[in-house]
Amino acid sequence: MVSIRFASVLLSLGGILISLYAHRVENSKAEDPLYEPLCDLGENMRCSDALTSEYSRGFGFLGDFLGNDSPLVQPNSVYGIGFYSVILVLSLVGGYYASLLQYILSILSILMSVYLGYILYAVLYDFCIVCVSTYIVNLLLFVISHVKYNRAKGKYFARSGKSVKTGKKKD
């Protein structure tokens, strides 16, 4: 059976590669508007449309708060590379707090996947294989992070002599 750590590392690396490809598509399309990436599969299946839309930088809303010229407003693929890199490091680190942070980050990635999936479907009327691939990676990382966190939580509370349910010292 595949270990939690190995699966998490593999998915993180996959997420990094997908994000790097998305970044390449964004940059290539900006340099050459006639560029046709491999992920443009049909009229309503154009990853380049999704990856160059107004929602592809700062998740479509950070620019409203920080200004579009802010260095914090980057292509979503850059956030993806950073996110998956952090998850990769956390995958290699054991312990309760690393597992908790990985779990929290994976929950946030699910929320962003739902938001961006809605934008893709209901606003852009598009199907982006690259985008959907990241949503799947995020879902699988969430499941793995949940399992890893629950295992770490059990070990942490068992060592501390506290109840998992209450967090208080057992009598």
**Contact in structure between 125 and 117 (CB atoms under 8 Å):** no
pTM of the entire predicted model: 0.88
pLDDT score of 168: 62
Please give the span between the terminal C-alpha atoms of the chain, in angstroms, as a whole number: 38
Residue with tokens 């956390």: 90
pLDDT score of 42: 86
pLDDT score of 163: 55
For residue 59, how many C-alpha atoms fall within 13 Å in the half-sphere facing its CB?
16
Query: 160: which 2 tokens?
Result: 């501390």
pLDDT score of 52: 93
Mean pLDDT by 10 residues, the chain (171 residues): 86 98 95 92 89 92 87 93 97 91 97 96 94 97 95 77 59 50
Q: Which residues of the chain form beta strands (DSSP E)?
A: 40-42, 45-46
Going from the N-terminus, what domains does the chain have, and what CATH number goes with each? 4-160 (1.20.1440.130)
Q: Which conformational region is residue 125 in: left (phi greater than 0), alpha (psi within -120 to 50 degrees), or beta?
A: left
